[in-house]
Amino acid sequence: MSVSKAGLKACNYVRMRRYVRVRGCRPSGLPWVAAALVAGGLGLEAADPSVWDGVYTAEQTRRGEAAYLSACASCHGTALEGGDMTPALVGGAFTSNWNDLTVGDLFERIRTTMPLDTPGRLSRQQNADTIAFILKANGWPAGVAELPPDSAALKQIRIAAVKP
């Protein structure tokens, strides 16, 4: 018996292959809650976007690559592989370190501490473009809208190592 019929069983009876409701009887709530969830009747909002939702553009990655090569590659390597004292910005170590944090967290870290010799040298737009380049290098897909250079907006985008 299906979930929806199970909730109706106690309050209905079958009459000529149709469910007939008995007056004054209420079916159990579980099937109705499940039906409301499936139908979207509770107004539940979609989860916050993640890096898997195409949150940057291909053009932005081109600008980000140029900014990265001029300001970041001397420490983090041209292939984002990291160095003796600098972390890799691509691969398992990067994704596990940033998993369940937000792009806004990464943006603020870069904005306030990088480049190491002159923190804050890059503009907010250059930081957003560089992050787009890092996201692309980690295999997260491009989309149709650019990453904004706004911390509050970027804090809405989750970094997820595994596609949800």
Whether this prediction's pTM lies above 0.85 is answered by no
Q: What is the average pLDDT across 11-23?
A: 47
Distances (CA, A) of 119 to 29, 83, 149: 57, 19, 17
DSSP 161: S
Among 15-19, 107-111, 133-137, the range scoring the smallest mean pLDDT is: 15-19
Structure tokens, 9: 């069983």
Specify the higher pLDDT residue, 13 or 149: 149
CA-CA distance, 59 to 147, in Å (whole number)?
Answer: 11
Instruction: Say whether pLDDT at 147 is over 90.
Output: yes
Q: Show me where the domains of the chain are located.
A: 3-39, 51-154
DSSP 116: T
**pLDDT of res. 7:** 44
Q: Residue 47's pLDDT band (boundaries 50, 70, 90)?
A: confident
pLDDT, averaged across the chain: 83
Q: What is the average pLDDT across 34-54?
A: 63
Instruction: Say whether pLDDT at 75 is over 90.
Output: yes
Q: Could you tell me whether strands 12-15 and 18-21 are parallel, antiparallel, or unpaired per DSSP bridges?
A: antiparallel
- CATH T-level fold of 51-154: Cytochrome Bc1 Complex; Chain D, domain 2 (1.10.760)
Q: What is the average pLDDT across 107-116?
A: 97
Q: Residue 48's pLDDT band (boundaries 50, 70, 90)?
A: confident
CA-CA distance, 116 to 67, in Å (whole number)?
Answer: 15
Q: What is the average pLDDT across 113-141?
A: 97
**pLDDT of res. 23:** 54
Structure tokens, 37: 């969830």
pLDDT per position as a tens digit, 88-101: 999 999 999 999 99
**pLDDT of res. 30:** 44
Q: What percent of the chain has pLDDT over 70?
A: 72
Burial label for 60, CB within 10 Å (0-12, 13-18, 19+), is: buried
